[in-house]
Amino acid sequence: MPPLADRHGRRFPYLRLSITPACNFRCRYCLPHGYHAEAGSAGPLTLDEIARLLRGFAELGMQKLRITGGEPGVRRDLVEVLRTAAAAPGLKKLAMTTNGTLLSRRLHAWMDAGLNAINVSVDSLDRAAFARITGHDRLDDILHGVDMALDAELPAVKLNAVLLRGVNDNELPRWLDYLRDHAVGLRFIELMQTGDNLAFFRDHHVRAEALAGELRERGWQALPRALDDGPAREYTHPDYAGRIGIIAPYAKDFCAGCNRLRVTATGDLRLCLFGEFGIPLRKYLARDDQLPDLVRAIGGQIGRKEQGHFLHQGRTGITPHLASTGG
């Protein structure tokens, strides 16, 4: 099969698969009241369903897979999920996004299962602010897990920090101290509006581009962008071991670099994080001999991918919070 491409010339070698909508944190911009299962909701994809799904995407040129959620660590069979994912034909990179609560305990099991890249969400380096944002006083243990991942030479270690006005948007000096001797890729992510967080968004949204100017003034240099780089703009500085990436979803042309598709924990294909519809794939995942139908279903829908999101108009699609779609 030819690799997936849409009518706007974008290719999609990158899949983000949510393996659970559940989470043990209560981040104020995501699940401020914690996770509550919807009555009657279907369970997440099983290992067999995940294996079939990934075979389908492999036929369509998938090279990179990110396991996300919700919190992937709340799934008891996470190691088996990773092992199943690592076996997908042609996969070059197996990444996971996690809040890091299990990192220090499970890192080696995850790496043994095939994980070779991790993004850990660390919204603040201030212990009290971290606890206020996430509902849990776990910063020290999570940072210890990050150090372990660096010591273990996990090939890619990144940290995600969502920028929040009046909460953590004064921490650049603290982050720079950290990056001097930590070889991580820090990503500052601009807060996105979702179906559930409008009031919080109005109070705390701050444009990430403002940071870019500050970085340049401090001698950080933007790396040239390759076509398939994805949406982060990366900066480096010779005096620092770490890098900084800025993800600014409200910036002009943000969607032009889109290289990813998403599948929810229950097997709905989402062409955009903020799309208006999901495409149910689970019905093609019951048996191995459905592979051609699965591949046709995915390939046949890619033409419906819009050129960009409609966040500027306040249209957040069917995403109540990112835990539901897999952020």
Binding site for ligand SF4 (CB under 6 A): 23, 25, 27, 30-31, 69-71, 99, 121, 323
Percentages helix, strand, coil for the chain (3-state, rounded to 5) are: 35, 15, 50
68 binds, options ligand SAM, ligand SF4, none, Cβ within 5 to 8 A by partner type: ligand SAM
Lookup result for tokens 């930590």? 182
Q: Which does 17 bind (CB under 5 to 8 A by kind): ligand SF4, ligand SAM, none?
A: none
CB of 288 to ligand SF4, least distance (A): 32
Integer-rounded Cα radius of gyration of the chain:
19
Residue 160 binds: one of ligand SF4, ligand SAM, none (C-beta under 5 to 8 A by kind) = ligand SAM
* Nearest residue to ligand SAM on Cβ basis: 327
DSSP letter assigned to residue 222: E
Q: Measuring CA to CA, which residue among 9, 12, 20, 4 is closest to residue 326?
A: 20
Distances (CA, A) of 62 to 8, 29, 68, 255, 260: 19, 30, 16, 19, 10
C-alpha to C-alpha distance for 205 and 167, rounded to whole angstroms: 10
Is residue 186 within 8 A of residue 220, CB to CB? The reply is: no
Which range binds ligand SAM by CB under 6 A, 58-66, 125-133, 186-194, 257-265? Answer: 186-194
> In the complex, what is the shortest distance from the CB of residue 134 to ligand SF4, in angstroms, rounded to a whole number?
6
Closer to ligand SF4 by CB, 34 or 155: give it. 34
Cβ 285 to ligand SF4 shortest distance, Å: 24
**In the bound complex, what is the minimum distance in angstroms from residue 76's beta carbon to ligand SAM?**
16
Q: How far is the CB of 19 from ligand SF4 (least distance, A)?
A: 12
31 binds, among ligand SAM, ligand SF4, none (CB under 5 to 8 A by kind): ligand SF4
Write the single-letter amino acid at 87: A
User: Nearest 5°: phi and psi at 252?
Assistant: -60, 140
Using CB under 6 A as the binding rule, the residues of this chain from 64 to 123 that contact ligand SAM are: 68-69, 71, 97-99, 121
Amino acid at 156: A
Report the alpha-carbon distance of residue 161 to residue 28 in Å, rounded: 13
Q: Which is nearer to ligand SF4, 192 or 302 (CB)?
A: 192
Measured CA to CA, the distance from residue 227 to residue 185 in angstroms comes to: 20
Subset of 126-185 contacting ligand SAM (CB under 6 A): 160, 162
Nearer to ligand SF4, 68 or 84 (CB): 68
Q: Which of residues 7-46 bind ligand SAM (CB under 6 A)?
A: 23, 29-30
Residue 30 beta carbon to ligand SF4: minimum distance, rounded to whole angstroms: 3
Q: Which is nearer to ligand SAM, 28 or 52 (CB)?
A: 28
From the list ligand SAM, ligand SF4, none, partner contacted by residue 194 (C-beta under 5 to 8 A by kind): ligand SAM
For 144, phi and psi rounded to 5 degrees?
-65, -40
Binders of ligand SAM in range 288-327 (CB under 6 A): 322-323, 327
Question: Minimal distance in Å, beta carbon 213 to ligand SF4?
Answer: 27
Distance between CA atoms of residues 281 and 304, nearest Å: 15
Q: Give how far Cα 271 sits from Cα of 60, 90, 165, 184, Å.
A: 15, 22, 30, 29
Taking every pair of Cα atoms in the chain, the longest distance, rounded to a whole number of angstroms, is 58
The reply on whether position 191 binds ligand SAM by CB under 6 A is yes
Q: Whose structure tokens read 């409008």?
A: 198
Number of C-beta neighbours around residue 46 at 10 A: 13
The footprint of ligand SAM (CB under 6 A) covers: 23, 29-30, 68-69, 71, 97-99, 121, 160, 162, 189, 191-192, 194, 197, 322-323, 327
